[in-house]
Every structure is written in structure tokens, then in C-alpha cells.
Structure 1
Amino acid sequence: MNTILGPIGRRGFLKLSAAAGGVIALGSTAACGQGGGGGGGGYSGDVAVTGLASLIHSAPFFIAQSEGFYEEEGLDLEHIQFPGGLDTVRGIESGIGFGTSSTLPVFIAAEKGMDVRTFGNVYTAASVDFIALQDSPINTIEDARGKKVAVSSPGSNSTYFAERTLREAGLQPGSDVELVSVGSASDSWTAVSQGVVDIAWTASPLSEKIAAESGGKVIWRSRDYVTDWSDTCLVATGQFMDENADALRGWGRALQKAMDMISNDVEAAAEVYARAIQYEPEIALEALSNSQNFFSLEFTDAQLQTVVEAGKEQAQLTRDPDMDAIVVRDFLS
């Protein structure tokens, strides 16, 4: 079971600036000046992003920065990459103040008494995919019967979606299908390539990259079985929202412009995204096209409730959260 650990600092986290075209640098985070609350007054600082370099939900952040949408809103932001949603929420609460995280960790953190709010959706599809070798006899989820499926670790999103989608297909995890914890998505694909397991978990854009470069094929996507989901969301502490409301609203406007670009000109959006993550343009285009309809700042009750039920099922949440205290629905309107 995942848990929220104690406060953590920002030293040593991976810094990845989209303005630098995806250049990665290790080291401490320099203090950034903050002024005026954003918008016309300007705001300069760090923003925490879960899986910035590796997950499809990051595309609007790269695009907003590279296309000057941040600058138009008076924002000078540096993206700080965190490896997972729980780490991101801790980083936000421990000093960065705002960012984007997997949605479930926000509710987990709130239950533990942390001062966190979510004020906008980002990516509205279940992001975990399952892939196999191109010449594998496995072609559908039903073909997973009697096979081994790689997941990250117990309590992870990959484990939850493996178990849920298999059950939706009439298969019982643990008896019909063996789940094997192997670690990261790349470790999962290595396990398939070496014959340790039959099916790997992954996520876009790595799904498309593996299919194009390593002879993999997507067998099923979690979003085909989980139709209401908030995968990632915009997060801030209550104090940060009170003190920097204009900056956060400007951030939302910049991200909306990036999402509109993905919707209306996916080819141009994919060019920007490809440069940022250093992928071949055609792979970035395929990945972004596959996710084109899943970027939104709007929440629905069904999406949030599905996330809460997932947390309760995994014993990560012990009670229903106070939605009115955690979800600030009209903040960006």
C-alpha cells in the first residue's frame, strides 16, 4: 500500500525545463523569485510535475512553455520532475506550492491532514497500457488467461488497472492470470523481451515508442475498460491558492491554450512535444493522437468518484473525502 511519507526537500530532484527543449540536469533547485501573484503582475517559480519526461499528460506543460503561453500570462516557470504522484504531492506541500499530480494521491494526502487542493483536471483517461511481443499469440485481453502479466508493485496504478481490467474481461487475477511485480515500465518490457512474463505494463508515449522501435503491440488499454477517470490534476496548497490566485488562473489559461492546440492542430503540437521529450516526430504524433480527446481542465463527479472508489478498494483511503473542501471546481472559470 502506498503511503504519504514525511516532508521532503527539493534538492536532488530531476529538473527538466521544456524551454531548454527537454535538456535534463541533476542538482539542487535554485530559489526562484515570486512576485505579483501572476497574470499582469508576473510570477516566477517552480512547478512540480509527476512523470514530466515520461507520461503523456505532460504534453500541455511542454507546449505551454515552448509556445510562449506561459510568457503571455506573465509566468516564468521551471518544471520540476517528480517520479510519482505521492512524491509530487509531498513536494507541493513541502514548499513548491503547486503542480500536477496523479489525482488519487491528492485525496490520500488530504485524508492525512495535508493542506492540498485540486482546482483542475489534466488528463482524463486511465493511462496504463498492456503490451506483448509482436509475434506473441496474445492478441486480446482474453488471451491473457494462463499468462504472466508484469506490473510495477503492489498498490501501484499498474497493479490496480491490471486487476480491474482483467476482472472486467471475466478473468480472475491470481488464478486465471499471474501478476508479477517487476518495477518500472521499461523494466516491464525487459521482462517480456527476456521471456520472464508474457505481457508488460506501460503507458503512452512509451507504448507507442516500444511498438515502433522494439516490435511490441498494444494488447489492451485500461481506458477501454475504465471510462470515467481523472488520471492527473492541478494541485496547490490552500495557502498558495490564497496568495497566488492570479498566477494559478494564468497557468490554467496557458494550459488551456496548449490543450486547444492539441485538439485543433495535433501535428504542430506533436512537433513541440517530440522535441521536448526527444522522440521521433511520428511516434510523438501517434501518442498525442491516441490521447487527443483526453485533455481537459473540467472535472466530472463520475471521474472523481471512480478515483475515490479505487483508493478505497486498495485501502489507500479509509473514508469518503470531503469533496467540497478538496476540489475547487470553479477556480479557473
Structure 2
Amino acid sequence: MSAPPRLSARARVTRRALAGAAWTLAWTLVWGCMLMMFANRAHAAPLTLAVSTGPVSLPIYVAQARGFFKDEGLDLRLRECSSGRECYQWLADGKVDIATAAELLVATGSSAHRELAIIATISASSYQIKLVARRSAKIAEAPQIRGKRIGTVPGSSAQYFLDNWLVYNDIDPGSVTVVGLPPDKLTPALLARDVDAIAIWEPLASTAALALGGDAVTFASPRVYTQHFNLVGARPVLQRREDDVARLLRALLHAQHVIQSEPELARALLAERLHLPPALTATAMENEDYRVRLDQSLVATMQSEARWAARNADAPGAAVDVLRAIDAVPLHRVDAAAVGLVQ
């Protein structure tokens, strides 16, 4: 048998070149696939939302229970926090993508956190914060608060309410002693008679009144302060995850319609979530406006809070420009009619 013909030098070089090109192409395809896989994993990372416990977060509870987030194709991870203040801090620290928080935290903290912005109000109430006092401290009417010790959370919307409540009732703020405490320490301090009254948000106000029983007297003043509870995000995240943010807003708009059309279902869900009696849950819902929106009342409230913060040593600091602390683009993109800001 004759030996196979030997390749010429040129043919051998060509063959090696083709083999090298094939290997290069193969590795390029492998790396390309790996890069696409990593990109898809990064894109598929869940959006994290810090949720404050309370009636203010009902649209989120409804959207989760009814599966609206999944229906919108949103992979959402909820992290519960004890207050909007804690949620806001998680956002400022980069621990979450979006947070629920009262507008005061943004109005008074925007000079330190200019990258954070409100993208939507999900609930608003003139009854969200109340003053709960002990009758045994000889408090039955507002003027009797003079000379008493009042517990509240320093620099919070509760303190903003308290300061305005005192002025509204012609009570000199200097005539009371304000005791700064964390939210979870207020009711124990009231029960222990370390303070005579507390100014705090729901549901802590209701649980404090329940704990006091017949010794409780509650002051709710709708003319003093309307709290707007909002979704707040970091601008880089809002831009990078704009499609997911749109999915989040659409899910909450669906939840808004359920709250309006099926209030009994929403009340039952809220009672179960907060472990509150049905009667208190019904009252809480009646006092909340669950429209997803951005309107001028939010701006006016934040401007007032910025001025208050400038005078108050306990507040984080005044905002430079309140309008810059609101980003209407995401909500306008989903529902232009929900945006009523005057630019």
C-alpha cells in the first residue's frame, strides 16, 4: 500500500491557520454565551422594595396578595421595616432599590441625599398621626397638655405633627417637655407613665390606645397635617431599572382599583396583615386616600416641612429645592393623568 501524499508546506500552514481560526471562533462563542448569561442574570435580579408596616402600605399588600407584581412580569422582593424612617435609611445605605416613606424624610433629607427622589404617593391621610394621652395624667382636652411630658420620634413626621398641633391649639411649645424615643419605645413609656402622652403614626397610635383602654384619650387633627406616603428611589436605579419601576407602578394602580371596588376584601387583608380588630381597620381605611399619584399638595407640604426643618435642630436639614426631590417621569410614563404637579 502506498503512503498518503504529504501536504505541502503552504497547505500545512493553511490548515494550522484554519484550525486556529476555528478555536478562536469557538472561544468567542463560548465567551459570548457566558457574557449573555451573566447579563441576563444581572437583569433578572429582583427589585427590592422596603415596606413600612401600616395602613399606608395597603396598595402593596393588595398587589402582592392578588399577584399583580407577577402579572406585570416583575420579580419583586419585599423587605418589611418598622417605619418609613427605617425604610428610607435602608434606601440611603443602598440596601434596597425602592422604599416606602413619608414625604418629610425626603423634604428634610434631600440636601444630604440628592440622588433620592419620590416617584409616587401611594396613600395620604390627615389622620395618620395622632396624639394619644393618659386621662390619669389629667388630660381630657388639648389645653391640658401644657406642662406635660410628650414622647415622639425626633425629627420625624410625628414631631412635625406635634409641633403644628401645639401651635394650632394655641399651646406654647416651650410649655411641654418633648421626650425623644424610638417608635417601639413610645407605648411602653406611656404605659409606664414615663410620659403623659405620645405623638405617633398608625398603627402604633391605635395599639397604644388599645393598651391604655379606658385611660386613653386620642387627639386627631385633620387640619394640622396631611401625610403623603410615597415610593422613593435612587435616581441611578430608577434609570437603570425603568421597566421594572413601570411594572411596579402598574401593579399598584391595579391594587388601587381593587381597594376602590372591593373594599371589604381590602379591609380583611389589612386586618390580617396588621393583626388589628376589624373596626379599627375599617376606620384606618376610611381615613386613607389610596390613589397612586403625584399632586401639588405634596409639594406644598414638603415646602412647609423644609422650612420647619431649617428651624428645628432635631430635623436632618432643609431641602434646597423640593421639586428636585420629586421625579414624575416614571409615573407619567405609566399614567399621565395621575401626575398633577405644577412645574
Q: TM-score, normalised by structure 2?
A: 0.72
Name whichever of 273-282 and 247-256 sits farther off: 273-282
State the shift of 1:242 in Å. Answer: 2.0
Instruction: Please tell me the residue identity of whatever aligns with 1:163.
Output: D
What is the aligned partner in structure 1 of residue 96 from structure 2?
96
Q: TM-score, normalised by structure 1?
A: 0.74
What is the aligned partner in structure 1 of residue 269 from structure 2?
272
CA distance 1:84–1:206, shift in 2 (3 Å): closer
The answer (yes or no) to whether the contact 2:47–2:75 under 8 Å persists in 1 is yes
State the shift of 1:277 in Å. Answer: 2.8
Whole-Å separation in 1 of the counterparts to 2:290 and 2:319: 29
The answer (yes or no) to whether the contact 1:45–1:78 under 8 Å persists in 2 is yes
What is the aligned partner in structure 1 of residue 48 from structure 2?
46
State the shift of 1:85 in Å. Answer: 4.2
Q: From 284, 288, 297, give the equivalent of 1:287.
A: 284
State the shift of 1:240 in Å. Answer: 1.9
Q: From 189, 192, 197, give the equivalent of 1:191.
A: 189
| SS of residue in 2 equivalent to 1:297 | coil
| SS of residue in 2 equivalent to 1:118 | strand
For residues 2-151 of structure 1, the aligned pairs below 5 Å read 35=43, 44-49=46-51, 52-53=52-53, 55-85=54-84, 87-93=86-92, 94=94, 96-112=96-112, 114-125=114-125, 127-133=128-134, 137-151=138-152
The answer (yes or no) to whether the contact 2:130–2:200 under 8 Å persists in 1 is yes
| SS of residue in 2 equivalent to 1:286 | helix
The answer (yes or no) to whether the contact 1:118–1:233 under 8 Å persists in 2 is yes
Whole-Å separation in 2 of the counterparts to 1:303 and 1:133: 33
Instruction: Please tell me the residue identity of whatever aligns with 2:123.
Output: Y
What is the aligned partner in structure 1 of residue 340 from structure 2?
none
Cα deviation digits, residues 204-261 of structure 1 (max 9, x gap): 22333343454154522253322xx453211222222222222212211221232333
Q: From 306, 313, 317, give the equivalent of 1:311.
A: 306
| SS of residue in 1 equivalent to 2:243 | helix
Whole-Å separation in 2 of the counterparts to 1:73 and 1:48: 19
CA distance 1:312–1:299, shift in 2 (3 Å): same
Whole-Å separation in 2 of the counterparts to 1:223 and 1:308: 19
Whole-Å separation in 2 of the counterparts to 1:188 and 1:157: 15
The answer (yes or no) to whether the contact 1:33–1:45 under 8 Å persists in 2 is no
The answer (yes or no) to whether the contact 2:132–2:219 under 8 Å persists in 1 is yes
Instruction: Please tell me the residue identity of whatever aligns with 1:124.
Output: A
State the shift of 1:322 in Å. Answer: 5.4
CA distance 1:173–1:269, shift in 2 (3 Å): same
More helix by share: 2
The answer (yes or no) to whether the contact 2:108–2:319 under 8 Å persists in 1 is no
Matched, 1:234 2:231: yes
What is the aligned partner in structure 1 of residue 296 from structure 2?
301
| SS of residue in 2 equivalent to 1:47 | strand
CA RMSD of aligned residues (A): 2.9
Matched, 1:162 2:162: yes
CA distance 1:331–1:233, shift in 2 (3 Å): farther
State the shift of 1:96 in Å. Answer: 2.6
Matched, 1:203 2:201: yes
Name whichever of 139-148 and 249-258 sits farther off: 139-148
Unaligned runs of 5+ in 1: 1-31, 37-42
CA distance 1:208–1:262, shift in 2 (3 Å): farther
Name whichever of 107-116 and 191-200 sits farther off: 107-116
The answer (yes or no) to whether the contact 1:150–1:200 under 8 Å persists in 2 is yes
Highest CA radius of gyration, 1 or 2? 2
Whole-Å separation in 1 of the counterparts to 2:137 and 2:81: 34
State the shift of 1:170 in Å. Answer: 0.6
| SS of residue in 2 equivalent to 1:231 | strand
| SS of residue in 2 equivalent to 1:75 | coil
Instruction: Please tell me the residue identity of whatever aligns with 1:194.
Output: A
Identity %: 20
Whole-Å separation in 2 of the counterparts to 1:75 and 1:188: 37
| SS of residue in 2 equivalent to 1:164 | helix
Cα deviation digits, residues 257-315 of structure 1 (max 9, x gap): 323333333321121122223334443333323x33x2232222232222232133223
State the shift of 1:73 in Å. Answer: 1.3
